[in-house]
C-alpha cells in the first residue's frame, strides 16, 4: 500500500465523521463522496462501522456502502476498503460484506472503554482474540488493526499513564492483531507527548506499530502529526473537512483535516499520492449530503500558493 509514497493517509470521514453528526447522510451521497475521495488518490477509506443501527443509525447502510466501495477497486487498483467493528459479530458482518481491513476500538481509559463499548479494556483484548480467530478462519488475508483510543488523555478519566498505553498495546499484539496505532480521541495531546509515546510504541512493537489518529480539538492536530512523523510514523488517519469526534467522549471535536494534512506533507516534499485539487472537489458531495453541517479546513479556504505544482 505504501510503495512509492512517503506517507500513507487513511480517510476516516465516512465512518468517524458521519457517526459524529446528528444528521444521517443518504446512501447515494455517501457513495458519491467515497467516489470523489478515491478519485483524489486516497488509497484507504474507512467507509463505515458495523454496529447496531439502533445505536448509530448513521451507519445502518454500511453493508450497501461497502458493496459500492468495492466496485471502485476496478478503476482504482489498490484501494483498500476498511470498516470499524466493535466485536466478533460486527467482524463477521464486515468480513461477509468483503472489507479489506478491520479496525477495532480499544481504549486505554477504562472509563471511556465502558462508555464506548460497554467492556473493560481487558475484555476488549479478549474480544480481539475472538475477532483474530474468526479472521484466521474465514479471511486470513484481511489485516486487523487496533487504534488505542484516549491514548493521550481522557475527558472522563483524566490522565492516562503512558506505561498503561504501552502495556495495552503489547497485549493487543499478543492477541494477534497486525497493527496498533495511537488515537488522541479527546484532542488532549501535545507534540512532546506524541513524540515520546510514539517513540516508545515503535521501540516496543516494531513493525506492529501503526497509525497516528489525531484530533484538532485544541488546535494541535497538525503539530501532533508532525511530531509523530518525526518519531518515525508513516501512517496517518484524517477526515475530509475535519468531520469527526466521539459520541462517548464529552468535549471531543473533529479530526485532523485531510486537506490540511496533505498540504503540509506535500509542501514539505513528502509524497502522499493525493491530488489536492481533486481533494478540494471531494468537499462538494460531502456538503451536498450534509447540508448546513460545518466543514473545516484552512487550505481549501486559503487556496494553494501561486506556482503550486500540479
Give the C-alpha separation, 199 to 74, whole Å: 38
Catalytic residue chosen out of the listed positions 31, 154, 172, 246: 246
Active site residue 246: yes
Are 120 and 114 a contacting pair, CB within 8 Å?
yes
**Residue 224, C-alpha cell as written in the block:** 501532533
**Residue 70, C-alpha cell as written in the block:** 468495492
- Dmax of the chain from CA atoms? 54
Are 233 and 211 a contacting pair, CB within 8 Å?
yes
CA distances from 157 to 154, 189, 256, 275, 293 (A): 5, 15, 23, 40, 30
Pairing verdict, β 144-149 and 80-84: unpaired
**Residue 130, C-alpha cell as written in the block:** 475472538
Phi and psi of 47, rounded to 5°? -90, -10
**Residues with active-site annotation:** 246
Amino acid at each position: 500500500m505504501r510503495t512509492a509514497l512517503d506517507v500513507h493517509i487513511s480517510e476516516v470521514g465516512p465512518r468517524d465523521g458521519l457517526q459524529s453528526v446528528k444528521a444521517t447522510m443518504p446512501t447515494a451521497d455517501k457513495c458519491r463522496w467515497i467516489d470523489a475521495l478515491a478519485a483524489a488518490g486516497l488509497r484507504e477509506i474507512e467507509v463505515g462501522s458495523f454496529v447496531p443501527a439502533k445505536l448509530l443509525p448513521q451507519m445502518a447502510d454500511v453493508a450497501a456502502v461497502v458493496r459500492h466501495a468495492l466496485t471502485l477497486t476496478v478503476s482504482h487498483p489498490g484501494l483498500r476498503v476498511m470498516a470499524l467493528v466493535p466485536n466478533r459479530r460486527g467482524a463477521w458482518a464486515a468480513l461477509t460484506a468483503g472489507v479489506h481491513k478491520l479496525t477495532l476500538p480499544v481504549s486505554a481509559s477504562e472509563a471511556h472503554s465502558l462508555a464506548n463499548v460497554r467492556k473493560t479494556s481487558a475484555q476488549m483484548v479478549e474480544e480481539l482474540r475472538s475477532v483474530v480467530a474468526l479472521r484466521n478462519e474465514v479471511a486470513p488475508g484481511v489485516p486487523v488493526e487496533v487504534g488505542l483510543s484516549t491514548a493521550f488523555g481522557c475527558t472522563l478519566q483524566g490522565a492516562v499513564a503512558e506505561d498503561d498505553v504501552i502495556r495495552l498495546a503489547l497485549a493487543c499484539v499478543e492477541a494477534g492483531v497486525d497493527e496498533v496505532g495511537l488515537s488522541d480521541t479527546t484532542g488532549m495531546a501535545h507534540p512532546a507527548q506524541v513524540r515520546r509515546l510514539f517513540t516508545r510504541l515503535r521501540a516496543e512493537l516494531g513493525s506492529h506499530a501503526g497509525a497516528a489518529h489525531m484530533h484538532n480539538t485544541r488546535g494541535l492536530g497538525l503539530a501532533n502529526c508532525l511530531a509523530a512523523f518525526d518519531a518515525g510514523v508513516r501512517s496517518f488517519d484524517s477526515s475530509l473537512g475535519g468531520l469527526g469526534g466521539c459520541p462517548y467522549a464529552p468535549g471531543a471535536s473533529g479530526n485532523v483535516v485531510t486537506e490540511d494534512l496533505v498540504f503540509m506533507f506535500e509542501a514539505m516534499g513528502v509524497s502522499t499520492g493525493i491530488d489536492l485539487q481533486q481533494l478540494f472537489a471531494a468537499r462538494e458531495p460531502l456538503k451536498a449530503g450534509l447540508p448546513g453541517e460545518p466543514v473545516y479546513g484552512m487550505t481549501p479556504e486559503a487556496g494553494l500558493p501561486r506556482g503550486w505544482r500540479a
